[in-house]
Structure 1
Amino acid sequence: MTGALEGLRVLDLSRFIAGPYCAMLLGDLGADVVKAEKPGTGEEARLMRPRAGDESFYLLAFNRNKRGITVDFRDEGDQRLLARLAERADVLVENFRPGTLEKMGLAPDELLRRNPGLIVARCSGFGQDGPQAGRTGFDAIAQAESGLMSISGEPGDKPMLSGTFMVDYSAGMQLTIGVLAALADRRRTGRGQVVDVALLDTAFSLMMTSATEYLMRGEETGQVGNRDRYGAPGNTYRSADGWVHVVGGSDAHFPRLLTAMGRPELADDPRFRALEDRLANRDAIDAIVGEWTAGLSCDKLVAVLEAAGVPCGRVNGVAGAVGHPQLRHREMVAEVEHPALGPVPLPGVTVKLSRTPGAVRLPPPRLGEHTDEVLADWLEG
C-alpha cells in the first residue's frame, strides 16, 4: 500500500513546531518531504533540550518522514538553488517572519510565476498582513493575546498557559488543511496559491463559544478550572488512588450519575432538579460527588460510571497514556529506527485511511544527510 500523498513533493523551509508539524503530517500521508536547514548547526530546534544523545526531542518529534538537505539561506547561490527546487515542488512550507521569504528572492508571486501550480504554505505569529504582521509570535504569545489564556486556570488565579503547545499544533493542522484544500482546487484549475495561517488567528479560533458569548452578550467567560462550563456536575474529582474526570451535568447524564452513586433522591433536591439549578449550586453538587469518588479507586469508579452510561476517564500521567490499551491498539505509539539512537518511539499517525494508510517510514534526517540524493532526484530526474 502507498500513502495517499505519494508523488507529492514538499519543500520544508520551516523551523521549530508549527511549520515542521505541517510538513511532517504531509510526510506521514506519503509525500516526499525535503527539509532544508542551514549548514553547521541546522535549524534552531536541533540545539534545544531535552535531548537523547546528540539529538533534540524537538527535532525527533516534528521531523520524521523527511529527507534533509543543507543550504545557506543568506547566500545568493543557495537562494537560487531553493528557487529551482521550488520549481519542482508541489508545496513549499515556511514560517519565517513575514517579509523574510521576499528578502531571500523567493517572493510567492515570483515563485508562482515560475511554478504556477505551487502551493506556498506560510505560517507566522500574526499573519502576512495587518498592522502587527511584523511582530515575532510564539505559541504562548498567541495564547495570551487571543484571550485563550484568560479562560484557562482556576477562578481568581493567574491566567494559565496550556500544558502543551496547543496553538502551534493547531496552526500546523490548519496549515495542512489549507494545503489539502489548495491541492483540491489545483486539480480543478491547475493553479497554485498562498496559504496564510497565523498563530494568533488559530488561538482565537479555539475560543469559539467564549468569543460569541462576549460579542452577543458582552459577558466575559472567565476561568472555571476543570469544571464543565455549561453543565454541572462536570469536573475532575479525587479518587482513593488518583483522579477521575466525570461529565455528568446534562439532564440525560445526571440521573445516571445519581444511580451510580446510590443517591437517586438527589433528583428531587430543588438545588439540582434542572441544569440551571445545578449550575447555580456547582459547589454543593461537586462536594457531594467528590465525597463519593474519594472512597473508590480509579478503576472502580470508571467501571461503575461506564456501566451506568456516564462519560468518565482516569486522569493519566504520561506513563499511563503511552501504555493505554486503546492507544496501543490504534497504533498511536510507533517506532522508527534511528541510525544513532536505535529504535525511537514516536506518536503514531492520527488519521486512519482504510486504503492508503499513513506510516512512520523515516527517522528525522541527520543534518544534510540527503543533499546529494535530493538534488539528483528533484533537479536531475
Structure 2
Amino acid sequence: MQRSLENVRVLDFTRVLAGPYCTMLLADMGAEVIKIERPGAGDDTRHFGPFQNGESGYFVYLNRGKKSMALDLKNPHAITAIKELVKESDVVVENFRPGVMKKLGLDYESLKELNPSIIYTSISGFGQYGPYSQRPAYDLVAQAMGGMTSITGHPDDPPTRSGASLGDMSAALYAVYGIMVALFHRERTGEGQLIDVAMTDSIFALLENNVMRYTVDRIVPERIGSRHPISSPFDIFQAQDGHVVIAVANESLFEKLAEVMNQPELIKDKRFCLDSLRTKNETELKAIIETWLSGYTVAEAVEMISKGGIPCSPILTIRDVCEDEHTKAREMLIQVDHPMAGKMKIPGNPVKLSQTPAIIKEASPILGEHTGQVLKDVLKWDWKRLQDLEEQEV
C-alpha cells in the first residue's frame, strides 16, 4: 500500500517536543525523516524518563519511524554534507531559537539558493519576527503568554498550566498543517516557501470564543473552573463515588436531561428555561443536579444520561484510557519493538485514512544509526570519504 507522503524527504533538526512531534506525524504517513542529532548526546529527550532498558520512552514515542544522523553542526564538513542533503530533500524542519540556523548558514535564504523548491519550517516560542522573537520559551511560557493560563483553573486558585503541553503540541499540529499546504502549493507551482510557527500564536489560536468575548463585548474572560462560560449545565458534577461530566449546550439537551432526572418542571422554570438563564443561575442548577446525582454511582449516572442522548462521561485516568476497549479498537495504543528497549506501547496516530492510513512499524533510531547509510545511499559518498569524516570527528 502506497503511503501519502512516500518519496517526501524531511531533514529534521528538531529536538524535545514541538518539532519532533511534527516530524513524527510526517513519518507516520510515509515521509523519510532524517533526524540530525548531536554526536554523543543526541536529542535532549534521549535523556528524559521514563526509561526501559536504559532507553527513553519519551524519545521512542516522539521519534518513531525516523532515521538518525549524528553530525557536529559546528564542523564545516558536516555543514557541507547537510547542504548536499538539502538538494535532495523536500522539507526542512527546525526549532532552534531564531537566528541560530542563520549563524550556521542553514537558514531559509541560504538553503533556497541550493534548492528553490525546499519547504523550510521554523517552530519557535514567539516566531521569527516581532518584539519577543528572541525570547526563549518552553510550553509553560507559551501557555502564559498566549492567554491560556489566565483562563485555566478555578476562580479562587492560582492560574494553572494545562495538564499537557498544548503550546508544543498545537505548534506541531499547525506546522504539519503548514507543510501539507506548502506541499500542495509546490505540487502546482514548483515553488517552496518558509513556514513560521510560534507556540504563543498557536495557543492564542486555540482560545476560540474567549478572544471574541473580548473583541466584541470587551469582556476579559477569567478562570471559571471546568464549566462553560456561556452554556449550562456544562461542567463536572459530584456523584456518589466520583465525578461525572455533563455537557448541555442547547434547549433540547436540557429537556432530555430533565426527563432523565424525572424533574420535567425544570424545563419551564424561569431560572432555567433558556441557556443564558441557566448560565446566570448556574450555581443553583448545579446544586439541583448534584442532589440528584448523590443517589447514583458514576457508572449508573453515566449509563442513564448517555441513554438519554446527552453528552456525558466519567473522568478517566491515564490508566483507564490506556486499558479502555475504545482506545484499543481505535488503535490509539500501539506496540513497537525497539532494538534496545524491547517492546513498548506508545500512542498511535489519531488520523484514520481509508486509503493511505498511518503505518507505524519502526521504533525510534539509535543515535547516529543511519549516518553512513544516508550519506552513502542519498549522496552516493564512498566508504573512504565516510572514514575521513569519522577521523575528522564530524
TM range (shorter): over 0.9
Match of 2:384 in 1: none
Corresponding residue for residue 207 of structure 2: 207
Q: Name structure 1 gaps, 5 residues minimum.
A: none
Q: 1:73 maps to what in 2?
A: 73
Residues 262-281 of structure 1: matches in 2 within 5 Å? 262-281=262-281
* 1:45/1:56 contact within 8 Å kept: yes
Aligned 1:189-338 pairs, distance under 5 A: 189-338=189-338
After superposing the two structures, state which structure 1 stretch, 289-298 or 144-153, moved more.
Answer: 289-298
Per-residue deviation, residues 295-328 of structure 1 (Å, max 9, x unmatched): 2122221211111111111110011111222221
In structure 2, the residue matched to 1:188 is 188
Superposed CA deviations along residues 1-30 of structure 1, whole A, max 9, x for unmatched, are: 131111110111101111111100000001
User: What's the CA shift for 1:269?
Assistant: 2.0
* RMSD, matched Cα: 1.3
**Is the Cα contact below 8 Å between 2:337 and 2:344 reproduced in 1?**
yes
The CA deviation string for residues 89-108 of structure 1, in whole angstroms up to 9 with x for no partner, is 11111000001001111121
Equivalent residue of 1:252, what SS?
A: helix
Q: Which residue of 2 aligns with 1:151?
A: 151
Deviations 1:27-71 (A, max 9, x none): 000111111100011111112233223222321221111011100
Deviation at 1:140, TM superposition (A): 0.8
Query: Deviation of residue 145 (structure 1)?
Result: 1.0
CA drift at 1:229: 1.7
| Within-5 A mapping of 1:109-128 | 109-128=109-128
Instruction: Assess if the C-alpha contact under 8 Å between 1:2 and 1:357 holds in 2.
Output: no
Matches within 5 A, 1:21-36: 21-36=21-36
- Aligned-pair distance for 1:241? 2.7
* Alignment TM-score, normalising by the size of structure 1: 0.97
Contact 2:12–2:35 (CA under 8 A) maintained in structure 1 = yes
- 2:373 equivalent to 1:373: yes
- Distance between the aligned counterparts of 1:34 and 1:242, measured in 2? 47
Equivalent residue number for residue 98 of structure 1: 98
Residue of structure 2 in register with 1:39 after alignment = 39
Show the counterpart of 1:82: 82
Shift of 1:271: 1.4
Q: Deviation of residue 249 (structure 1)?
A: 4.4
Instruction: Specify the SS of the correspondent of 1:214.
Output: helix
Tell me which residue corresponds to 2:385. Answer: none
Q: Which residue of 1 aligns with 2:51?
A: 51
* 1:168 Cα offset (Å): 0.6
Deviation per residue, 1:317-349 (Å, 9 max, x gap):
011111222221111111111112221111111
Task: Determine if contact 1:16/1:58 at 8 Å carries over to the other structure.
Answer: no
Letter in 1 for 2:73: F
Give the aligned residue type for 1:261: M
Deviation at 1:111, TM superposition (A): 0.6
Q: For 1:47 and 1:31, how far apart are their aligned partners in 2?
A: 26
Deviation, 1:294, is 2.7
Provide the secondary structure at the position in 1 that maps to 2:251.
coil
SS in 2 for 1:256: helix
For residues 160 and 94 of structure 1, what CA distance do their matches in structure 2 show?
A: 29
Give the equivalent residue in structure 2 for 1:19: 19
CA distance in structure 2 between the aligned counterparts of 1:205 and 1:233, rounded to whole angstroms: 26
Tell me, yes or no, if the aligned pair for 1:70 and 1:371 is still in contact at 8 Å. Answer: yes
Paired residues, number? 381
- Matched residues in 1 for 2:296 and 2:229: separation? 26
Amino acid at match of 2:33: V
